Amino acid sequence: MGSKTWDGVLLVHSTTRMLALRLTVSALLLCGTCGFSRYWFNQLNNCNPPEQLVGKFCAVVVDNDVDDDGIVDFRDVQKQILYFDYDDDPCSLQQWEVVTRWTCRYGYSEDYARFMYTLWDPNKDGVVNANDFTGFNFSTIDFLSIQYIRFKDMYCGDPKNRENPVDRVQCAEVDALKPEDIKCT
């Protein structure tokens, strides 16, 4: 098919080379060890995390105030947990579901997502459900402040949490922020 010989070397027609190149690129994009797996997961699952840390904080607030009443409460959390459901069990969250949501939707590191999961599982039974959030009631302004304080003080305040490349960048960003910088427009 469309090949020529030149001094004993088989030259393949350009369309065949293009097809081979396309197949190679497709194989590279589909293999999980090529570094593209997170990219394709994000594209297929509508992952579009905010680039700036304040945007991440605000996205968490918007997602948690499900009824848009300016209060993040137990009812909102019960509904918001459904966004984490990747295994068709809407009543409980596994750690991998939280990691998936926090890395995909918000753009945090997997380490921070695991940290969040440990906060949500106060009885340490390995499963998070709506009962783990009883007594949850904050204004969205307070909830936004909690996002900032938790990330800056509780997470980035521990030097071991600054080793991950994503965390290094995000912790440096939160270090440069002041409380008055934390507002959603």
Q: pLDDT, tens digit, for every residue of 92-140?
A: 888 999 999 999 999 999 999 999 999 988 888 888 887 777 778 999 9
Calculate the dihedral angle through the C-alpha atoms of 107, 160, 183, 48, rounding to the nearest 10 degrees: 0
| Across 33-53, average pLDDT | 60
Q: Name the pTM for this structure.
A: 0.72
Strand 137-139 to 71-73 pairing: antiparallel
Q: pLDDT, tens digit, for every residue of 157-168?
A: 999 999 999 999
